[in-house]
Every structure is written in C-alpha cells, then in structure tokens.
Structure 1
Amino acid sequence: MTFMTVFNQIAILSLMIIVGYGVMKFGILNDQLNKGLSSLVLKVTLPAMIVKSMQFDFSREVLLTSFKMILLSLFVHGIAILTSYIVPKLLKEQSTKGDVIQFMLVFSNVGYMGYPVIYAIYGDMGVFYAALFNIPFNVLIWTLGVTIMTRHSHRESNKLDYRKVLMNPGIIAVGLGFTLFLLSIKIPYVVYDTLHGIGEMTVPLSMLVVGSMLGEMPLREVFNEKKLIVVSVIRLIVLPLITLIVLSFMGFEGMLLGVPVVIAGMPAAANTAVFSTLYDAAPHFASKGVFITTLLSMITIPLLSMLL
C-alpha cells in the first residue's frame, strides 16, 4: 500500500471524527446515545470484525507470526510500563493525577482508534494480528490498570475480577476466531456475511464516538494542563518511535513492525476516563488527557504511517 493510499485512509478516518464532533455539538448525539454507541462497538461490531478477520486457512507461518506478535506485545507494553513509572516522577505528579498519567502511558486506544487504523492500513490480516497483540492489553487493564487507578483513590481497591478479564467480548472473539483458524473451520457464508456487515460498522461508529467525545469538552479548558501536553508527546511520538527503533534494530519488518508501532502511537485509552471516574482518581484531568491525545493523534498518526 502506497503512502498516499494510507494517507487518504487516515484522512477519511479524521473526517469521520470531525463529523462525530459536529453531531455532538449540534445535539444530534448526546451523552446517553454516545455511551450506547460505545457499548455497541466494544461488545458487538468489534468482536464481529475480529472473528471475521481470522477466517484464514491455517498455516505454520501465520501461527508462528501470531506467537511472535503476542511476545512483541508483552515487550512493547513492558516499555510503556517502564516509561509510565518514570514520567510522573519527572513531572512531579505523585497524586491521583500521576496515576492518570501512568494509565495514559500504558494503555492506548486500541478499540476505537487502533483497529480502524490497522484495518485501513493492513486490512483483515492486520486486524488478525492486532487482535492477538491486544490480548496482554485486556489482561493488564483489569490488573495493573485497576492497581494504578486505586493507588491514591479514596475508595477501597476492588479485588481482581477474573471474569472481567476472561469474559471480555474482545477476548472471547479472539479465542473463538483463533480456534476457528487453528482448526481451519470455515464459517457458513450467511454467518460470515452477517459478521462482515456488522464488523464493517466498527470503523465509522468508532470514529463518530471519538469525535463526539471531543465535542463534549470546551477547547479552552483542555489546553490549560501543560503537563498533559508533555504526556501527549510521549504517548503519541516518543513511545512509537522507541518501538520503531528497537524493533527495526531487532530485524522485524512488515506487520511484525507496523502493528506494534501503530498501536504504540495511538492516543490514551478511552477507558482512562472511565476508570478514573469509577475509582475517583482525577476524572476531569483524565477526560482532558483523552481529549488532547485524541485531538493531536489526528496529526501524528498520518506522520507515523509515513514512517512505516
């Protein structure tokens, strides 16, 4: 895929985000509808997209690449976790705001932004590998993520609920899709076409959700947090560049290089705001962080795709 093709795909996604911003500002979408769309994407359309994307004939090469992708995910998340412990100390933020910063640096927006961008660049095979890359994310967010957000929270720390880890719709979809791949089981045409149709809604709905999130907050309030600008630069530029340099030096190329780098360069996870609200850990600060990183990613993601 040429750079212009990738750039055009990213431009389309950006325009969809702008439409989402507009429909929120004009009252076509509201907070309740936005939450419903978010749930629809994460629980229905994205799982359908994942299962459909894994309908490939079994091959040892793809299986080997799949295991490499999971190991790369652990490695990349390790870099992010290490960085997340250093940055709050440098910024002298050791309170709940420091916890939010750490969460932002570890967890990127894979669901709403990562999958659509990967799909635009690499198609179904890209989503296949991105889904496997995302397995550690789903485990870490309900373990390390909860630990981070409850460190300085006034509420009591919740015990780890393994059901939330294992029964996550994304994990279930990956497990089902990968099992079908391993056994070379082909989904009946009617079911496949249904999954395809539902899965195709993931990209536009995700972009509308992201845009509507941006439309919920006045721009003046967002950019008065200078530390979040620094965190955004690290989240959107430094982390993906470190990933790109290290993996290139290690000899990785193609999707084994592209998928980790693209996901490493996504904005802060939307769950940053959700978890901070749930555990009373500077929720307003977290919402600003999600907003800034998402807004700036409309510039950085095309530049990142050019590097790849």
Structure 2
Amino acid sequence: MYLTVARQLLVMAIIVIISFFFSRKNQFGQAASQFLSRLLLYVINPCMIVSTFDVEFSGQKLKSLGLAIAVSFVFHFVMIAIVSIMFAFRRSVGQDQDALGPKNVPDQDARDCLSKVGIVFTNSGFIGIPLINGVFGGEGVFFLMGYILVFNVLLWVWGEWLMTGAIRPLKIILNPNVLACAAGLAVFCLPFKMPYVVIEPLRMIGACNGAASMILLGLLFSSFDAAGEARSFAKPLARDVFMRLIFC
C-alpha cells in the first residue's frame, strides 16, 4: 500500500515539475492559473464527482458512504478542537512571535486564523482526489466524496466564521462540489445507469482531474519569487505540515 501511494505521489510530482519548468519558460501570467483553477472547480471536479456516482445502487454502499460522512465530521471536529486549544494555550503563555503567515496579512490574529484554517482544511480536492483515484480507483473516490462534502460544509461554516465573523448558507449550497455531490447522490439512487452519451462526456472531462490539478500546482509554484516568498512561507508551511503529521 505504501509503495502504491509513493508511486502515485511520484507520478503527480513529475507532472508538477514538468508544468513548473514549462510555465517558467513561457512566463504564464496569473490569468492562466485563474482559468485552470476555475475550470477545475466549476467543470472538471464536478464532472468527475457526478460520473463517480454512476454505479449500481447498493444499500451497503449507501451505508458505507454515510459512515464516511460521520467519520469525516468527527475527524474535523477533533482537528478544530485541537487547533483551538493549541492556539489558545499558545496565546496564554505569550508565545506570539515570528511571522506565521504571508506578509499581506495585517495582524497576528488574522495570521492565526489563516493558520487554523490551513491546518484543519487540507487541499483534499485538487490533490486528494487524483491521489485517491490513482491508488484506489473510482470506488475510493466514491467514498472520498463523503469527506469532500463535510470538508466544504465546515469550511464555509467554521472557516468563514473564523475569517469574517459571518456564516453565509448560500455559499455552502452553491458550492460546486456540494452541488456535484448532491447530483451524484441522486444519480446513484436512480434505478438505472445514466445513458452513455450523457455520462461518457462527464467521465472524459473528469478524467482530466489528476493531470490538470498537478499542472495548476506547477503554474502556481512557477509564479513564486524564490527568494522573497519562499522565506515568507517557509515557517508557517513547515509548522502546519508538522502539526498535521502529528495529529493525523
């Protein structure tokens, strides 16, 4: 299993490296990464999610999906509790020092909020989906959708409240991944499979998810200023990754 995961990560890393050097050479601007990001968020990911649910209905699968959703809620609540306690303790002992976030974040409180969100909510969409798909195939992605659903709901509830002090339910309902999960669940519950001419285009578009996600990462990395931004992100990145490894 570990070898399979490592092999898939290596495949994904190679695509990122190819994208990085190609983007560096051609000097693609921010517009390119924004276009690809939106294409993934609004088209490729939803198509992949819906097509993943086009399988024969099974009560056992539905129960397992419900269990995945319940476990995902528990996991996120535990992470939120740990992070909240840790930052409260950190503040109480007066250890607020060092730059813990990007330079454009105005104050320590905002940096702490960004760190909390960054620790609890990982990039489970752009990175998690192609990784799970490469290791476990479509069935693995099917159950990952339970995690993705919980991830998006809590991100727009707890994450939004943490960053802005407000909760906007419409943001949750209209989230592309949430809508795709709802549509996919409806497809899963149908007593028949979707027609080939309907589901095959979705499968073909969804199959681009892994490569497109890694190409996007390469584009984003190529736009970093190696000397300036790397130093700015080094400490928070190292700390957040270390904490994630400990608690997960």
Q: Give the TM bin, normalised by the shorter chain.
A: 0.7 to 0.9
1:60 Cα deviation from its structure 2 partner:
1.7
Matched, 1:100 2:109: no
1:62 aligns with 61
> Which residue does the alignment assign to 1:204?
211
Higher RCO (C-alpha 8 Å, min separation 6)? 2
Residue number in structure 1 paired with 2:52: 53
Kindly state the Cα deviation for residue 205 of structure 1 after the two structures are TM-superposed: 0.7
Name the residue aligned to 1:169. Answer: 176
Contact persistence 2:161–2:167 (CA under 8 A): no
Q: Which amino acid aligns with 1:205?
A: A
Q: How big is each residue's C-alpha offset from its partner over 1:92-115, in whole Å with a ceiling of 9 and x where there is no partner?
A: 365211111111011110121111
Consecutive unaligned residues of structure 2, counting only runs of 5 or more, are 98-107
Matching residue within 210, 222, 243 for 1:234: 243
Partner residue of 1:9? 8
Q: Give the TM-score normalised by the residue count of structure 2.
A: 0.86
Q: How does 1:130-169 map to 2 (within 5 A)?
A: 130-150=144-164, 157=165, 159-169=166-176
- Contact preservation (8 Å) 2:5, 2:131: no
Shift of 1:52: 0.8
CA root-mean-square deviation = 1.9
Amino acid at match of 1:175: A
Task: Tell me the percent identity.
Answer: 27
Larger mean CA deviation between 53-62 and 67-76 belongs to 53-62
- Distance in 2, matches of 1:102 and 1:23, equals 34
Given candidates 128, 131, 145, the residue that maps to 2:142 is: 128
Name 1:259's counterpart in structure 2. none
Return the index of the structure with the highest Cα Rg.
Answer: 2
CA distance change for structure 1 residues 25 and 88 in 2, over 3 Å: closer, same or farther?
farther
Relative to structure 2, which stretch is displaced further, 222-231 or 41-50? Answer: 222-231
Q: Residues 125 and 148 of structure 2 are in contact (CA less than 8 Å); yes or no, is this contact kept in structure 1?
A: no
1:56/1:184 contact within 8 Å kept: no
1:88–1:214 Cα change, 3 Å:
farther
Instruction: Tell me the residue number matched to 1:187.
Output: 194
Q: CA deviation at 1:218?
A: 2.5
Equivalent in the alignment of 1:43: 42
| Cα distance in 2 for residues equivalent to 1:211 and 1:174 | 28
Within 2, Cα distance between the matches of 1:210 and 1:143? 26
CA 5–107 in structure 1, closer or farther in 2 if over 3 Å, else same? closer
Name the stretch that deviates more: 137-146 or 71-80. Answer: 137-146
Checking the alignment, whether the CA contact within 8 Å between 2:5 and 2:135 is kept in structure 1 is yes
Q: TM-score normalized by structure 1?
A: 0.70
1:142 maps to a residue whose letter is W
Residue equivalent to 2:105: none
How has the CA–CA distance of structure 1 residues 211 and 175 changed in structure 2, closer, same or farther, with 3 Å as cutoff? same
Gaps of 5+ in 1: 151-156, 241-308
